[in-house]
Structure 1
Amino acid sequence: MRRDPVSGAAPAPLLFDIPRSGRWYPGDFKPATSFDLVQASVSMYVEELYERVVDAGATWLYALFPNAYIDANRHETDFGPEQLAGPWTGHLEPTEKTRLGIGLIHSVAGRDRIPLYDRPLEVSDVRQRIDRYFLPYHGELGRVLAAYRETHGVSYHVSCHSMASIGGASTLDHGAQRSEFDIGDRHGTSCEPAFTALVCDTLRGFGYQVTNNFHYAGAESVRRHSKPGQGSHSLQIEIRRGLYMDEARSVPNAGFASLQAHLTELSRVLADYARSRAAAPSA
């Protein structure tokens, strides 16, 4: 789902993408575990936290499908042959995320890493998840950013996520308390330093604890769509979920409205920055 700047807002070459918060479950998704465990992997309510960025002139792009079905923040080769009922025709490159059960096609659910399926998946099933969900989402994201660069010479992209307050069993920081915000720019390689600094400084100005590339440095959404040398700048924002939701009950808490207001103000700051860096449109 895509929303463009509202009427009257000065458009900015700025896009916020929400790739791991979808809660529309395709009919062919048949996990062997409970819905509650499947739902626990979703970065809940992130699309609502950022829904007012269009008022600032930014574009909002939201993956409706859940990351447990196919994870838009992974590379399309990041799964293992042991997950399949037959041979895969093509290259696979499973990473540590696949070993942890949270690669392109998740194999576990919940903090206790309960198996998500009771049998290997059909090759045709995985193919259609890639072809019908993963690639179209990234195709649309890439088209919007390319249009920005064609018109303005630059594109700015913020990939929006949330993280459990304590690292879970499927994470590299298992058992650790997370910072309130972690900003990932792939260790300074995915966007210009001034853009990262503006995000960090603005959030710190609101009073938040902010780290940089500490819990998550940025995954596929940032890697795939960033070429700072060619004017394409991407970074990832991770929010500690306890700031805005009751993690045990999966419902918003009293901090939701304040955080949403701060993220809306952040979008205004970033939109102004993106407009200031944009080249004048061709006559």
Structure 2
Amino acid sequence: MLTELRPGVFARRDPEGAAAPVIFDIPRSGAEYPRDFRSIAALTDLQRSISMYVEECYADVTRAGATWLYACFPNAYIDPNRHALDIDPAALDGEWPEALKPSPKTSAGIGLIPMVCAGTRPLYDGKLSIADVRNRLDNYYLPYHGELARLLQAARQKSGVAYHLSCHSMPAVAASGPDAGQRRSDFDLGDRNGTTCAPELVEVVEKTLAGFGYKVTRNAHFIGAECVRQHGNPAGGIHSLQIEMNRGLYMDEAARTRRPELGQVRDHLTAVATAVAALAGRA
């Protein structure tokens, strides 16, 4: 059952039947634009920033006893998969009250508060006020991460372990970087080079997906960003893994529409949830 605990911010589906200490978070697929969002970008360009339909692909993980958590707001507004201080000071109309930590992603315009979409399209025609950015953090970003942290801590306290799968999608073909022009793997598993989860979690997910015939890589395209960096704590019993899924598996990227194969992909990802729940039972 879908529970929208904070309308426009996050929604949650709780486990069907016995609960497993497994949480799937979908942080970059929301499309509910806040009323205060003022952008000069066309909607078609804004939509290109969204990992569309990922929440549908993972919709049945609750049947395996997992919890499903979904950020309703678009990552073009504020990106849950970026550090809270990953802000370009030049984008602000004022001075932030603490030292900012802009990353290379910020330099490319895709930090915590994205400044471009569809690669190069500007989102704004001026700077953002401190109050605007503070509102996005306090009322969207922090509540989402707070709920994710609460779920993981509760699962760990009850079961001694918690498994966190952060769910994303990637363009089928890389537009830039060392693999530009090449088709990416079907799934890329990111554990920040072995730092955010025990190897057993990666192995179970990889083996299950490979069993369906998918090409699976590790830390090849994306090593994992803020959601797994912030919440992963293997020594403390919380294991976080980022799953990047090739969009060509389930959608027509040009038309931005679902492919018939989406249902099959959903079944396979439910099998992943079942396998991770079984791993939790052995922990």
TM-score interval for Structure 1 and Structure 2 normalised by the shorter chain: over 0.9
Match of 1:280 in 2: none
Verify: 1:41 aligned to 2:49, yes or no.
yes
Which of 253, 256, 263 is equivalent to 1:247? 253
Residue 118 of structure 1 aligns to a residue in which SS?
coil
Query: In 1, Cα distance between the equivalents of 2:165 and 2:187?
Result: 14
What is the count of residue pairs matched by the alignment?
273
Match of 1:151 in 2: 158
Verify: 1:84 aligned to 2:92, yes or no.
yes
Match of 1:162 in 2: 169
Which of 253, 260, 265 is equivalent to 1:259? 265
Deviation at 1:70, TM superposition (A): 0.2
Question: CA contact under 8 A between 2:196 and 2:232: conserved in structure 1?
Answer: yes
Residue 93 of structure 2 aligns to a residue in which SS?
coil
What does 1:143-222 align with in structure 2 at a 5 Å threshold? 143-168=150-175, 173-222=179-228
Q: Which has the higher strand share?
A: 2
What does 1:100-115 align with in structure 2 at a 5 Å threshold? 100-111=108-119, 113-115=120-122
Residue 30 of structure 2 aligns to a residue in which SS?
coil
TM-score (norm 1): 0.94
Deviation at 1:174, TM superposition (A): 4.1
Corresponding letter in the other structure for 2:63? D
Match of 2:231 in 1: 225
Verify: 1:93 aligned to 2:92, yes or no.
no
Which of 237, 240, 243 is equivalent to 1:237? 243
Match of 1:117 in 2: 124
Residue 188 of structure 2 aligns to a residue in which SS?
strand
What does 1:45-56 align with in structure 2 at a 5 Å threshold? 45-56=53-64
Which of 1, 21, 31 is equivalent to 1:13? 21
Query: In 1, Cα distance between the equivalents of 2:272 and 2:157?
Result: 25
RMSD of equivalent CA atoms: 1.1
When residues 88 and 172 of structure 1 are mapped into structure 2, their CA distance, relative to the original with a 3 A threshold, is farther
Match of 1:71 in 2: 79
- Structure 1, gaps ≥5 residues long: 278-283
Query: In 1, Cα distance between the equivalents of 2:183 and 2:130?
Result: 38
- Structure 2, gaps ≥5 residues long: 1-10
Stretches of 4+ aligned residues off by more than 3 angstroms = 171-176
Identity %: 52
Corresponding letter in the other structure for 1:134? Y
Q: Deviations for 1:154-191, whole angstroms, at most 9, x for unmatched residues?
A: 1100000000112235x675434211110001101111
TM-score (norm 2): 0.94
